[in-house]
Chain A
Amino acid sequence: KAGVTQTPRYLIKTRGQQVTLSCSPISGHRSVSWYQQTPGQGLQFLFEYFSETQRNKGNFPGRFSGRQFSNSRSEMNVSTLELGDSALYLCASSLRTGNSGELFFGEGSRLTVL
């Protein structure tokens, strides 16, 4: 069974540019969450999508946005990049049933902003 796939794995951008990251969840998983991981702040929740609808949103500025498609694949976009946006962006999928917080993470997209 294929795991969560994130593309691209690495990318370098300059301040002011925008970036789009992609996530393909495990087959059958309809929930996709995004997290930002930095050495200083650790893992921070960005947003969660289920059945193409944003269900929860973390405390991030409006420059961070996402969407989910009918096949459960998800994208997140960061506009007007800042140096502080350099981070590992992790996507996680889950069945979203009951109380389970069992998330299956991808290997992440490492973004460097110069």
Chain B
Amino acid sequence: EDQVTQSPEALRLQEGESSSLNCSYTVSGLRGLFWYRQDPGKGPEFLFTLYSAGEEKEKERLKATLTKKESFLHITAPKPEDSATYLCAVQRSNSGYALNFGKGTSLLVTP
């Protein structure tokens, strides 16, 4: 059975304090790993897709990396507007377009 585990559940950072969020996964036949951001009262917003181990993607202060067992979302010099819940999801090669989501990391960045 596929498993997606995100850690930590919650993270509080000072503005400018860099850190990483972890997503560990167990899936047979990974087609892709996805990162989404969700603000309170909103639907998730797509950030990145990673397809193979060693791949990296960057967007502003965020950088996502992928290994065969886990993915990291690195946040460099975060700002208060980066506060949100970050969700990781995996897509299995034989599951069509169904995504299996982790429970997320709630990030709070204080000024």
Contacts and interface: CB of A to CB of B under 8 A. Distances in A.
Interface in A84-114: 90, 92, 94, 96, 99-108
Interface in B71-90: 87, 89
Interface string B75-111: 0000000000001010100011111111110000000
Contacts of B102: 42
A10 to B, nearest CB: 11
Contact of B96 (A55, A90, A104): A55
A108 B49 contact: no
A26 interface: no
Size range of the chain A interface in the assembly: 20 to 34
B58 interface: no
A17 B32 CA distance: 38
Interface in B39-79: 41-46, 49, 51
A103 B87 contact: no
Contacts of B103: 41-42
Contact of B45 (A94, A96, A105): A105
Given A42-B104, A43-B87, A101 B45 contact: no
Given A99-B51, A101-B89, A101-B91, A45 B32 contact: no
A11 B100 CA distance: 26
Given A43-B87, A99-B31, A99-B32, A104 B46 contact: yes
Interface of B: 31-32, 34, 41-46, 49, 51, 87, 89, 91, 95-104
A58 interface: yes
B51 A33 contact: no
Contacts of A102: 34, 46, 49
Contacts of B43: 4, 90, 92, 105-108
A105 B44 contact: yes
A43 B90 CA distance: 12
